[in-house]
Amino acid sequence: MSEVKVATLNLFNRMGDWEKRAPLVVEQLHALSPDVIAFQEVDLVLDQGMWIARQLNLRLRDGPHYRIKHAASPGKRVSYHGIGTLSRLEFLEHEILDLMAFERMAQRMVFRCGERPFLFVNTHLHHPPEAEAERVEQSEYLLGWLERDARGLPAVIAGDFNSYPNEKAVALMKGRFRSAFEAVHAREPDKTWPTPVNDFDPSPPGTLDYIYVSAEFRVANAGLAFNTPAPEAATLYPSDHFGIFACLEL
Protein backbone atom coordinates (compact mmCIF):
# COMPACT_ATOMS: atom_id res chain seq x y z
CA MET A 1 0.00 0.00 0.00
CA SER A 2 1.33 3.45 -0.96
CA GLU A 3 0.56 6.84 0.56
CA VAL A 4 0.10 10.33 -0.82
CA LYS A 5 -0.68 13.60 1.00
CA VAL A 6 -2.81 16.10 -0.88
CA ALA A 7 -4.18 19.53 -0.04
CA THR A 8 -6.08 22.51 -1.40
CA LEU A 9 -6.00 26.26 -0.69
CA ASN A 10 -7.58 29.33 -2.24
CA LEU A 11 -4.74 31.90 -2.16
CA PHE A 12 -7.02 34.99 -2.41
CA ASN A 13 -4.62 36.30 -5.10
CA ARG A 14 -2.96 39.61 -4.09
CA MET A 15 -5.86 40.80 -1.93
CA GLY A 16 -5.88 40.98 1.87
CA ASP A 17 -2.32 42.32 2.19
CA TRP A 18 -0.49 39.56 0.34
CA GLU A 19 2.92 40.90 1.39
CA LYS A 20 2.11 40.09 5.01
CA ARG A 21 0.26 36.84 4.25
CA ALA A 22 2.91 35.39 1.96
CA PRO A 23 5.36 34.27 4.67
CA LEU A 24 2.51 32.52 6.50
CA VAL A 25 1.59 30.59 3.36
CA VAL A 26 5.17 29.41 2.88
CA GLU A 27 5.73 28.56 6.57
CA GLN A 28 2.51 26.58 6.92
CA LEU A 29 2.97 24.90 3.54
CA HIS A 30 6.45 23.80 4.56
CA ALA A 31 5.10 22.43 7.84
CA LEU A 32 2.26 20.59 6.07
CA SER A 33 4.59 19.23 3.39
CA PRO A 34 1.96 17.83 0.97
CA ASP A 35 2.93 15.81 -2.07
CA VAL A 36 0.42 17.75 -4.17
CA ILE A 37 -1.56 20.92 -3.45
CA ALA A 38 -4.25 22.62 -5.52
CA PHE A 39 -4.20 26.42 -5.46
CA GLN A 40 -7.04 28.66 -6.59
CA GLU A 41 -7.06 32.42 -7.19
CA VAL A 42 -3.42 32.43 -8.20
CA ASP A 43 -2.22 35.84 -9.38
CA LEU A 44 -0.28 35.14 -12.57
CA VAL A 45 0.91 38.73 -12.95
CA LEU A 46 2.71 38.46 -9.61
CA ASP A 47 3.91 34.97 -10.59
CA GLN A 48 2.53 34.04 -7.19
CA GLY A 49 2.67 30.28 -7.64
CA MET A 50 6.26 30.27 -8.87
CA TRP A 51 7.29 32.52 -5.98
CA ILE A 52 5.76 30.08 -3.48
CA ALA A 53 7.50 27.15 -5.18
CA ARG A 54 10.88 28.91 -5.09
CA GLN A 55 10.52 29.91 -1.45
CA LEU A 56 9.51 26.40 -0.47
CA ASN A 57 12.32 24.78 -2.43
CA LEU A 58 14.88 27.03 -0.74
CA ARG A 59 13.90 25.34 2.53
CA LEU A 60 14.30 21.82 1.16
CA ARG A 61 17.80 20.42 1.35
CA ASP A 62 16.93 16.85 0.46
CA GLY A 63 14.21 15.12 -1.47
CA PRO A 64 12.38 16.14 -4.61
CA HIS A 65 11.67 19.83 -5.12
CA TYR A 66 8.27 21.25 -6.01
CA ARG A 67 7.11 22.24 -9.47
CA ILE A 68 3.93 24.07 -10.40
CA LYS A 69 1.68 23.99 -13.45
CA HIS A 70 -0.89 26.73 -14.04
CA ALA A 71 -4.15 27.23 -15.88
CA ALA A 72 -5.04 30.83 -16.68
CA SER A 73 -8.61 31.99 -16.34
CA PRO A 74 -9.85 33.39 -19.65
CA GLY A 75 -11.10 36.93 -20.10
CA LYS A 76 -10.80 39.80 -17.66
CA ARG A 77 -9.89 37.60 -14.69
CA VAL A 78 -6.76 36.19 -16.28
CA SER A 79 -4.39 38.03 -13.94
CA TYR A 80 -5.86 37.00 -10.59
CA HIS A 81 -8.22 34.04 -11.03
CA GLY A 82 -5.77 31.46 -12.28
CA ILE A 83 -5.38 28.05 -10.71
CA GLY A 84 -2.17 26.14 -10.15
CA THR A 85 -1.09 22.73 -8.88
CA LEU A 86 2.15 22.44 -6.94
CA SER A 87 3.70 18.99 -6.69
CA ARG A 88 6.85 17.21 -5.66
CA LEU A 89 5.60 14.17 -7.55
CA GLU A 90 6.42 13.94 -11.23
CA PHE A 91 3.77 15.33 -13.56
CA LEU A 92 2.99 12.52 -16.00
CA GLU A 93 0.13 14.36 -17.73
CA HIS A 94 -1.44 17.81 -17.59
CA GLU A 95 -4.67 18.88 -19.28
CA ILE A 96 -6.80 22.00 -18.88
CA LEU A 97 -10.57 22.25 -19.15
CA ASP A 98 -12.46 25.49 -19.71
CA LEU A 99 -15.69 25.02 -17.75
CA MET A 100 -17.34 27.28 -20.37
CA ALA A 101 -19.03 29.55 -17.84
CA PHE A 102 -17.93 32.50 -15.72
CA GLU A 103 -14.27 32.15 -16.72
CA ARG A 104 -13.71 29.04 -14.56
CA MET A 105 -11.15 26.36 -15.25
CA ALA A 106 -10.03 22.90 -14.16
CA GLN A 107 -6.74 21.04 -14.37
CA ARG A 108 -6.38 17.29 -14.68
CA MET A 109 -3.02 15.73 -13.96
CA VAL A 110 -1.67 12.22 -13.59
CA PHE A 111 0.78 11.36 -10.81
CA ARG A 112 1.98 8.09 -9.30
CA CYS A 113 1.26 6.90 -5.78
CA GLY A 114 3.90 4.24 -5.42
CA GLU A 115 3.66 2.40 -8.73
CA ARG A 116 0.01 3.22 -9.39
CA PRO A 117 -1.07 6.21 -11.47
CA PHE A 118 -3.91 8.40 -10.22
CA LEU A 119 -5.76 11.46 -11.42
CA PHE A 120 -5.54 14.74 -9.53
CA VAL A 121 -8.02 17.47 -10.45
CA ASN A 122 -7.91 21.11 -9.34
CA THR A 123 -10.88 23.39 -9.89
CA HIS A 124 -12.61 26.59 -8.75
CA LEU A 125 -16.35 26.93 -9.29
CA HIS A 126 -18.47 30.05 -9.63
CA HIS A 127 -19.34 32.48 -6.85
CA PRO A 128 -21.70 33.97 -5.35
CA PRO A 129 -23.94 31.81 -3.10
CA GLU A 130 -27.07 32.33 -5.20
CA ALA A 131 -25.36 30.83 -8.28
CA GLU A 132 -26.13 27.26 -7.19
CA ALA A 133 -27.55 26.21 -10.56
CA GLU A 134 -24.43 27.46 -12.33
CA ARG A 135 -22.21 25.43 -10.00
CA VAL A 136 -24.26 22.30 -10.67
CA GLU A 137 -23.79 22.88 -14.40
CA GLN A 138 -20.05 23.34 -13.96
CA SER A 139 -19.82 20.20 -11.80
CA GLU A 140 -21.67 18.16 -14.42
CA TYR A 141 -19.36 19.47 -17.12
CA LEU A 142 -16.33 18.55 -15.01
CA LEU A 143 -17.64 15.05 -14.25
CA GLY A 144 -18.42 14.45 -17.90
CA TRP A 145 -14.82 15.35 -18.76
CA LEU A 146 -13.50 12.89 -16.20
CA GLU A 147 -15.82 10.12 -17.36
CA ARG A 148 -14.46 10.38 -20.89
CA ASP A 149 -11.13 9.07 -19.60
CA ALA A 150 -11.64 5.35 -20.17
CA ARG A 151 -8.70 4.27 -18.00
CA GLY A 152 -10.76 4.42 -14.79
CA LEU A 153 -7.84 5.69 -12.72
CA PRO A 154 -8.23 6.42 -9.00
CA ALA A 155 -9.09 10.09 -8.66
CA VAL A 156 -8.73 13.04 -6.31
CA ILE A 157 -10.77 16.18 -7.05
CA ALA A 158 -9.79 19.18 -4.95
CA GLY A 159 -10.54 22.86 -4.88
CA ASP A 160 -12.78 25.76 -3.97
CA PHE A 161 -16.22 24.60 -5.05
CA ASN A 162 -17.92 27.71 -3.60
CA SER A 163 -20.67 25.29 -2.54
CA TYR A 164 -22.06 24.88 0.96
CA PRO A 165 -22.53 21.26 2.15
CA ASN A 166 -26.31 21.32 1.60
CA GLU A 167 -26.06 22.33 -2.05
CA LYS A 168 -26.91 20.19 -5.06
CA ALA A 169 -23.39 20.55 -6.46
CA VAL A 170 -21.99 18.89 -3.32
CA ALA A 171 -24.60 16.11 -3.51
CA LEU A 172 -23.65 15.59 -7.15
CA MET A 173 -19.97 15.20 -6.30
CA LYS A 174 -20.70 12.95 -3.33
CA GLY A 175 -22.78 10.74 -5.58
CA ARG A 176 -19.53 9.75 -7.31
CA PHE A 177 -16.85 10.39 -4.68
CA ARG A 178 -16.29 10.68 -0.93
CA SER A 179 -15.34 13.85 0.88
CA ALA A 180 -12.00 13.09 2.57
CA PHE A 181 -12.72 15.32 5.56
CA GLU A 182 -16.16 13.78 6.06
CA ALA A 183 -14.75 10.27 5.75
CA VAL A 184 -12.56 10.92 8.80
CA HIS A 185 -14.77 13.21 10.91
CA ALA A 186 -18.27 12.05 9.86
CA ARG A 187 -19.11 15.66 8.94
CA GLU A 188 -17.72 18.59 7.02
CA PRO A 189 -15.81 21.38 8.83
CA ASP A 190 -17.80 24.13 10.50
CA LYS A 191 -16.29 26.46 7.93
CA THR A 192 -13.43 26.90 5.50
CA TRP A 193 -14.39 30.52 4.70
CA PRO A 194 -13.96 33.33 5.65
CA THR A 195 -11.10 34.36 7.86
CA PRO A 196 -10.65 37.95 9.07
CA VAL A 197 -8.48 38.55 5.99
CA ASN A 198 -11.73 39.03 4.05
CA ASP A 199 -13.72 41.74 5.81
CA PHE A 200 -15.91 42.89 2.92
CA ASP A 201 -17.86 39.89 1.58
CA PRO A 202 -21.21 39.53 3.41
CA SER A 203 -21.86 35.96 2.22
CA PRO A 204 -22.65 33.45 5.00
CA PRO A 205 -19.64 31.66 6.49
CA GLY A 206 -19.35 27.94 5.86
CA THR A 207 -17.50 25.14 4.12
CA LEU A 208 -16.73 25.86 0.47
CA ASP A 209 -13.56 23.79 -0.06
CA TYR A 210 -13.38 20.02 -0.51
CA ILE A 211 -11.13 17.12 -1.35
CA TYR A 212 -13.13 14.35 -3.02
CA VAL A 213 -11.62 10.89 -3.49
CA SER A 214 -12.64 7.78 -5.38
CA ALA A 215 -13.29 4.44 -3.74
CA GLU A 216 -9.79 3.08 -4.38
CA PHE A 217 -8.36 5.41 -1.73
CA ARG A 218 -8.44 4.82 2.00
CA VAL A 219 -8.51 8.14 3.85
CA ALA A 220 -6.02 7.71 6.69
CA ASN A 221 -6.34 11.29 7.92
CA ALA A 222 -7.81 14.63 6.90
CA GLY A 223 -8.20 18.05 8.44
CA LEU A 224 -7.94 21.79 8.13
CA ALA A 225 -4.72 23.48 7.09
CA PHE A 226 -3.51 27.08 6.77
CA ASN A 227 -5.77 27.86 9.72
CA THR A 228 -3.21 29.36 12.10
CA PRO A 229 -2.98 33.15 12.44
CA ALA A 230 0.27 35.06 12.65
CA PRO A 231 1.74 35.05 16.19
CA GLU A 232 1.86 38.85 16.20
CA ALA A 233 -1.59 39.46 14.64
CA ALA A 234 -4.64 37.37 15.53
CA THR A 235 -6.55 38.57 12.44
CA LEU A 236 -3.79 37.79 9.93
CA TYR A 237 -4.19 34.38 8.28
CA PRO A 238 -2.51 32.85 5.22
CA SER A 239 -5.69 33.45 3.19
CA ASP A 240 -9.37 34.28 3.47
CA HIS A 241 -9.96 30.51 3.20
CA PHE A 242 -8.71 27.69 5.35
CA GLY A 243 -7.15 24.87 3.41
CA ILE A 244 -7.89 21.15 3.66
CA PHE A 245 -5.43 18.27 3.59
CA ALA A 246 -5.89 14.52 3.28
CA CYS A 247 -3.50 11.61 3.79
CA LEU A 248 -4.53 8.87 1.36
CA GLU A 249 -3.56 5.24 0.96
CA LEU A 250 -3.86 3.51 -2.37
Q: What is the pLDDT of residue 81?
A: 85
How confident is the model over 66-103, as pLDDT tens digits? 999 999 988 777 777 899 999 999 999 999 999 999 99
Residue 170: give its domain's CATH number. Answer: 3.60.10.10
How confident is the model over 40-61, as pLDDT tens digits? 999 999 999 999 999 999 999 8
Domain count, the chain: 1
**Can you say whether the dihedral through the CA atoms of 116, 57, 52, 11 is positive or negative?**
positive
How confident is the model over 8-20, as pLDDT tens digits? 999 999 999 999 9
Q: What is the pLDDT of residue 76?
A: 72
What phi-psi label fits residue 124: left (phi over 0), alpha (psi between -120 and 50 degrees) or beta?
A: beta
CB atoms within 10 A of CB 204: 10
Q: What is the pLDDT of residue 129?
A: 96
Q: Are 121 and 106 in contact (CB under 8 A)?
A: yes
How confident is the model over 143-196, as pLDDT tens digits? 999 999 999 999 999 999 999 999 999 999 999 999 999 999 999 999 999 999
State the Rg of the chain over Cα. 17
The Cα–Cα gap between 37 and 29 comes to 9
Sheet holding 93-98, edge to edge: 93-98, 105-113, 116-124, 155-160, 209-213, 178-179
- Paired strand residues for 109: 94, 120
For residue 26, report the phi and psi dihedrals to the nearest 5 degrees. -65, -45
Q: What is the pLDDT of residue 47?
A: 94
Residue-range definition of the domain harbouring residue 95? 3-249
